[in-house]
A and B are shown apart, each in its own frame.
Chain A
Amino acid sequence: MDAPMPDPSLYCVKAILILDNDANRLIAKYYDDTYPTAKEQKAFEKNLFSKTHRANAEIIMLEGLTCIYRSNVDLFFYVIGSQSENELILASVLNCLYDAVNTMLRKNVEKRALLDNMDAVFLAVDEICDNGIIMESDASAVVNRVSFRSDDLPLGEQTVASVLQSAKEQIKWSLLK
């Protein structure tokens, strides 16, 4: 089950995925043609999710690929590489992605917060990996480069109106639930 060592190269990430807890894709970037069509990608994601959503095991070999994953509340983060890839390098990418998202969502890593900041997450993924090459492994550098909008500053610096707005939102949601 082991492939021969590939040529040394910078290309080492095959895909980065963020799925929700119904296996729906929120963000999916495939960097090579392991799964060329959207249909094959979705099938792979379903399979991957079914194998990983229960066991909190962090790593799995699937369809000849090494998949490193991490989940929080209703979000699943995956980094996929070839099976001969150094697992720790892939893990460092995943950690960087997770930490960056964690910082940007102010430790509120869940689907709703992610969707509200979709643009920032898109930019972060782009900063972490460029066509399969790892661009940055330091989460704080990534967050810096994504350069956040002013209204995403910490609570103290927000205007009174926006604080009220978000409070209203939260009350509304707690009533609905």
Chain B
Amino acid sequence: MMKRDKKEEEEGGANPFYNLEKSSVLQEARTFNETPINTRKCCHILTKILYLINQGEHIGTMEATETFFAMTKLFQSKDLTLRRMVYLCIKEMAYIAEDVIIVTSCLTKDMTGREDQFRAPAIRALCRITDTTMLQSIERYMKQAIVDKVHSVSSAALTSSLHLAKTSPDVVKRWVNEAQEAVNSDNIMVQHHALGLLYHIRKNDKLAVTKLVNKYTRHSLKSPYAYCLLIRIACKLLEEDNAGPMFEFIESCLRHKSEMVIYEAAHAIVNMKNTTAKELAPAVSVLQLFCSSPKPTLRFAAVRTLNKVAMKHPAAVTACNLDLENLITDVNRSIATLAITTLLKTGSESSVDRLMKQISSFMSEISDEFKIVVVQAIRSLCLKFPRKHSIMMTFLSSMLRDEGGFEYKRAIVDTIIGILEENSEAKEAGLAHLCEFIEDCEHTVLATRILHLLGKEGPRTPQPAKYIRFIYNRVILEDAPVRAAAVSALAKFGAHCDELLPSIMVLLQRVQLDMDDEVRDRATFYLNILAQHQKALNSAFILNSLQVSIVGLERALHHYTMEPTETPFDLKSVPLATQPLQELSKPIMEASSGPKSTEKAAASRQDVYAEQLASVPELANLGPLFKSSSLPVELTESETEYMVRCIKHTFPHHLVFQFDCTNTLNDQVLENVTVQMENTDDFEVIRSVPAASLVYEKPGTTYTLVRLPEDPTQVTTTFTCTLKFIVKDCDPNTGEADEEGYEDEYVLEDLEVTVSDHVQKVVKPNFAASWEEVGASNELEDTYALASMKSIDEAVKSIIQFMGLQACERSDKVPDDKSSHTLYLAGVFRGGHDVLVRAKLAFSEGVTMQITVRSTDAYASEVLASAVG
């Protein structure tokens, strides 16, 4: 007790600002009005006010204004420190108090006065309180101040101009000549500030910026800060277009005498988009030197940049491995972590064990952000050395057990899932670790995700029974969303493994007594389906989930309830979920947050098209949109007069071609634009919807509607297309068009309709079950010799592209050095018929393929089977 009292007393005694009361301090401000001015006392009060503001204390407008006015009295004193404190307070209060412009004349006087000590801070304070209208009146003084021979005055004027440029860009622009003169100053800060201002004024004029850089790269600057800025400007120019001398300049900066400039240049080279290994080499070698610097900041900067290099060019960093090894034991844990992750990226398989041991010794000491860096490094390492998966898995699972935030845990779970999907050997170990993790996992999102994965992968492991306990534990212990996910996972085990079915049924019966509706509903639903003992039902409702787009389903159901009819709702009329491009499985799986946004965009793209098409009256009543082609087809060469791109929309009995046209001539306006297509192969052109007018650089859209042939096996053709329009000349400046126009046409490239336009990709998580579900009734089998293919991999890629189907079970990845492979493809044919393809490929001087097609529709089988031929 005594001790604490003493401590408090000491605290209070040591800190004169301890427990300051805002109101009493502002009361004290009245002292300012006394004459003569007590310099020391006033100075102390100002410090107190500053301290309060600095502590985040809120001062009301009224109080602030009152204090501000009292403060103006202090201009009578000539004391240096006091005056400087007044400037500081003016700046702090500029945005709190009202009518602050009353000090303009005092500040203007100080700014132009004889006392050099006052001038710089006066300029800065003045520019803080001034606005655009007031600025005009001090413009003359500002121009003079920029070129003043006192460095601090010049610097103050330059930086203040930069602040002002945010609110009054036009006025500041007029000071460009003065700024230019100031760049030649021999003071390093003035030079830096002048260059910054000059660039800011000119940054929208690319030519002027290029000139600026060219000028100052030749005439060497004195200030390292200015050099850094110049490097950044040069980099930005390089990013826009490749200009040789800029790169040479940056490279020459690697030999500058200041470390700051050398690092900036190396950093810039590493961050450029398309650097070659040769261009990187000099940058890497200076960074290597920095690695052994006694300054932690320099070592940190160097190893952080090297880590970045290692992501793209691991080979370039191998030269630094020895230096990085020395940094593993650095006292700064951030440096050590970065060094280890860099080494993990560049090192050989033999060094992995040692590095992992090293890093696990201090995992607890580093921040979550760095832990995620480590997790990402491990992930890329697993892809590189699949054989090391067991040590990685053990390491990851021990990280899962440690403390950490959601982001960190998610990164680990993502990595484990990624590894076990890539590497079948790691599957069992990975699943076991994840099972252990959900035993004690506070994040619902992660738990449901893992349960879903267990349901998908678990039944196909050699011992599916051992996962049941983990899953059922969740049903007993967790909250509703997790319980529901666990029930779904259990049902999948029941549907896939006959020997487990009786026990699963017993478990599901127990779940029927659950508190939560959703959980109970799921249990009842699955129980009834499983009781039927039918493979087809199991496959359709348990193992392979709903394949429609959720947004589309919502819209279709809403539409259905709005217009009551006798006919039951048909699920086939709902657009299918478009499969987002499978870029995720590419070797670079760095960011876990990256792909999400694109996925969402891809899923809703078709819904956007459906809405667009529905708004064109001529295209109504075609039925639900089945598919839109993912990438537009270019029908013109790039950089011609007109640009036309086509997107194909498939409907049950029609095709709609959407032509997005752009007019790239600024002296023409096109009107009544259509694309004329000829009837071919029983494809009948019904009508075109013209684009009313096409103005320069404003894209317009025209549609052509085509009826599909009666014969359901007739699906492919080629159309010749011609762009037809009326041209009117116009004034490029005003955009006003002439009255008279003339007809003209422009020949486009041919447009192909292929099998893939009639097929929508669909993922079947359990291909074998679907294969049984569809059955052999419409099975077709054929054998082809694909002589032109040089490898199985190539054949797989072209088959997928040709048929437009989704590869399932990761069968699109062909293991190396295998001479045979089986490809599983799934999709839905126009009209809603499931199509499944099994292609057995064998390689010996060309690829031989035995293809088996199953479908719920005989014609669909026929079309698909003939697609390859």
Which chain A residues have a beta carbon within 8 Å of chain B's beta carbons?
1-2, 5, 7-10, 25, 27-29, 38, 41-42, 51, 55-62, 64, 68, 86-92, 111-112, 115-116, 118-120, 122-123, 126, 130-131, 133-137, 141, 145-149, 176
A172 to chain B, nearest CB (A): 10
CB pair A131 B163 closer than 8 Å: yes
Residues 261 to 316 of chain B near chain A (Cβ within 8 Å):
263-264, 267, 271, 295-298, 300-301, 304, 308
Complex Cα spacing A25 to B15, Å:
12
Give the Cβ gap from A85 to chain B, nearest Cβ, in Å: 10
B492 at the interface (CB under 8 A from A): no
Interfacial chain B residues near A131, Cβ < 8 Å: 159, 163
- Residues A58 and B297 in contact, CB atoms below 8 Å apart: yes
Q: Are A115 and B162 in contact (CB under 8 A)?
A: no
In the complex, the answer to whether A55 meets B84 with C-beta atoms within 8 Å is: no
Q: Is B658 an interface residue (CB 8 A)?
A: no
A8/B199 in contact, CB under 8 A: yes
16 new A-B pairs (CB below 8 Å) besides A9-B196, A145-B120, A147-B117?
A38-B55, A55-B333, A57-B331, A57-B333, A59-B332, A115-B16, A116-B16, A119-B47, A120-B81, A122-B47, A123-B85, A126-B88, A126-B91, A131-B159, A134-B192, A141-B152
Q: Does B26 contact A (CB under 8 A)?
A: no
A40 to chain B, nearest CB (A): 10
Q: Which residue of B lies closest to A25 (CB)?
A: B55
A61, B332: Cα distance in complex, Å:
11
Q: How far is the CB of B110 from the nearest CB of chain A, in Å?
A: 14
Cross-chain contact B17 with A10 (CB below 8 angstroms): no
Query: Which chain A residues lie closer than 8 Å to B162 at the CB level?
Result: 10, 133
Query: Is A145 a contact partner of B332 (Cβ separation < 8 A)?
Result: no
Measured CB to CB, the closest approach of chain A to B215, in angstroms, equals 16
* A residues near B296, Cβ cutoff 8 Å: 57-59
Min CB gap B298→A, angstroms: 7
Interface pair A115/B17, CB less than 8 Å apart: yes
B370 on the A face (CB < 8 A): yes
Query: For the complex, would chain B's binding face be called helix, strand, loop or mixed by DSSP majority?
Result: helix
Q: Considering the complex, give the chain B residue whose CB is closest to the CB of A90.
A: B297
* Option from B55, B160, B331 in Cβ contact (under 8 Å) with A55: B331
> Is B200 in the interface zone, CB < 8 Å from A?
yes
With a cutoff of 8 Å between Cβ atoms, the chain B residues found around residue A137 in the complex are 188-189, 225
Interface 1/0s, chain B 331-345, versus A by CB < 8 A? Answer: 111110000000000
A87-B232 in contact (CB<8A): no
Contact of A27 among B54, B84, B193, B367 (CB under 8 A): B54
Residues of A within 8 A of B301 (CB): 86-88
Task: Tell me whether A5 and B260 are in contact in the complex, defined as CB-CB below 8 angstroms, given that A123-B84, A135-B159 are known contacts.
Answer: no
Whether the Cβ atoms of B193 and A8 lie closer than 8 Å is no
Chain B residue at smallest Cβ distance from A64: B369
- How far, in angstroms, from A122 to B197 measured CA to CA in the complex? 26
Residues of B within 8 A of A115 (CB): 14-17
Q: Which among A8, A25, A112 has the highest number of chain B CB atoms within 10 Å?
A: A8
B373 to chain A, nearest CB (A): 7
Q: Are A119 and B334 in contact (CB under 8 A)?
A: no
In the complex, which residues of chain B have a beta carbon less than 8 angstroms from the beta carbon of A9?
Answer: 196, 200
Q: Is B124 an interface residue (CB 8 A)?
A: yes
B334 touching A61, Cβ below 8 Å: yes
B54 touches A25 (CB 8 A): yes
- Shortest CB–CB separation between residue B229 and chain A, in angstroms? 6
Shortest Cβ distance from A2 into B: residue: B308
B297-A59 in contact (CB<8A): yes
A147 touching B51, Cβ below 8 Å: no
Chain A residues whose CB sits within 8 angstroms of the CB of B229 once the complex forms: 8, 10
In angstroms, Cα B53 to Cα A122, docked, is 12
Residue B50, interface by CB 8 Å: yes
Q: Is the Cβ of B370 less than 8 Å from the Cβ of A61?
A: yes
Complex CA distance for A56 and B523, rounded to whole angstroms = 58
Other-chain contact of B47, A42, A90, A118 (Cβ < 8 Å): A118
- Interface-central residue, A41, A92, A118, by most chain B CB under 10 Å: A118
User: Which 6 pairs across A and B sit closest by C-beta, in order of nearness?
Assistant: A38-B56, A10-B196, A57-B332, A8-B232, A58-B296, A87-B301
A92–B297 Cα distance when bound, in Å, is 10
Ordered by A's residue number, 6 sampled pairs between the chains whose C-beta atoms are within 8 Å are: A8-B236, A57-B296, A61-B369, A62-B369, A86-B228, A123-B81
Q: Which residue of A lies closest to B14 (CB)?
A: A112
Bound complex: CA of A174 vs CA of B371, how far in Å?
Answer: 46
CB within 8 Å for A133 and B54 given contacts A10-B159, A86-B260:
no
- Closest A residue to B370 by beta carbon equals A61
Q: Which residues of B contact A87 (CB under 8 A)?
A: 263, 297-298, 300-301, 304
Q: Which residues of B contact A (CB under 8 A)?
A: 10, 14-17, 43-44, 46-47, 50-51, 54-56, 80-81, 84-85, 88, 91, 117, 120-121, 124, 152, 155-156, 159-160, 162-163, 188-189, 192-193, 196-197, 199-200, 203, 225, 228-229, 232-233, 235-236, 259-260, 263-264, 267, 271, 295-298, 300-301, 304, 308, 331-335, 365, 367, 369-370, 372-373
Please measure, in the bound complex, the distance between the C-alpha atom of A73 and the C-alpha atom of B201, giving whole angstroms: 45
When C-beta atoms are compared, the residue in chain B nearest to A117 turns out to be B47
- Distance (whole angstroms) from the CB of B12 to the closest CB of chain A: 12
| Chain A residues closer than 8 Å to B155, beta-carbon distance | 135-136
B591: shortest Cβ distance to chain A, in Å?
Answer: 9
Residues on A with C-beta less than 8 A from B331 are 55-57
* Chain B neighbourhood of A68, CB < 8 A: 297
Please, which residues of chain B bring their CB within 8 A of the CB of A90? 297
Q: Is the CB of B120 within 8 A of A42?
A: no
Complex-state Cα separation, A28 to B295, whole angstroms? 26
* In the complex, chain A residues whose CB is within 8 Å of the CB of B15: 111, 115
Measured CB to CB, the closest approach of chain B to A33, in angstroms, equals 13
The answer to whether B84 and A88 have CB atoms under 8 Å apart is: no
CB distance from B433 to the nearest CB of A (A): 25
Max chain A C-beta neighbours (<10 A), residue from B16, B44, B260: B260
Contacts of A56 in B (CB 8 A): 331
Cβ of A119 and Cβ of B17 under 8 Å apart? no
Chain B residues with Cβ under 8 A from A133's Cβ? 159, 162, 193, 196
Contacts of B263 in A (CB 8 A): 86-88
Determine whether the beta carbon of B334 is less than 8 Å from that of A1.
no
User: Do A7 and B163 have beta carbons less than 8 Å apart?
Assistant: no
- The answer on a CB contact under 8 Å between B235 and A88 is no
A92 and B260 contacting across the interface, CB-CB below 8 Å: yes
Check B117–A51 contact: CB distance below 8 A.
no
A10, A57, A111, A147: the one contacting B14 at CB < 8 Å is A111
Give A82 to B84 CA distance when docked, in angstroms.
30
| B332→A58 contact, CB < 8 A | yes
Bound CA–CA A68/B296 (angstroms):
10
Whether B373 lies near A147 (C-beta < 8 A) is no
Whether A7 lies near B334 (C-beta < 8 A) is no
Residues of A within 8 A of B203 (CB): 7
- Partner pick for B298 among A88, A118, A135, CB 8 A cutoff: A88
Known: A59-B334, A119-B85. A88 touches B297 (CB 8 A): yes
Nearest to A133 among chain B residues (CB) is: B159
- State how many angstroms separate the Cβ of B194 from the closest Cβ of chain A: 10
Whole-angstrom CA separation of A41 from B676 in the bound complex: 64
Report the separation of the CA atoms of residues A176 and B80 in the bound assembly, to the nearest whole angstrom.
36
- What chain B residues lie within 8 Å of A130 (beta carbons)? 124, 156, 159-160, 163
Q: Is the CB of B225 within 8 A of A134?
A: yes
CA–CA, A99 to B725, complex, Å?
75
Q: How far is the CB of A97 from chain B (nearest CB, A)?
A: 14
Give Cα A9–Cα B192 distance, bound, in whole angstroms: 10
A114→B296 CA distance, assembly (Å): 26
Give every chain A residue within 8 A of B235 (Cβ-Cβ). 5, 8
Cβ of A1 and Cβ of B152 under 8 Å apart?
no
Which residue in chain B gives the minimum CB-CB distance to A91?
B297
Return chain B residues, CB-CB under 8 Å to A41: 56
**Chain B residues in 8 Å Cβ range of A10:** 159, 162, 192-193, 196-197, 200, 229
For B236, list chain A residues within 8 Å (CB): 5, 7-8
Q: What distance in Å separates the Cβ of A99 from its nearest Cβ neighbour in chain B? A: 15
Chain B residues with CB under 8 A of A8 = 199, 229, 232-233, 235-236
Are A118 and B51 in contact, CB atoms less than 8 angstroms apart? yes
Known A-B contacts A38-B56, A58-B296; A147 and B81 likewise in contact (beta carbons under 8 Å): yes
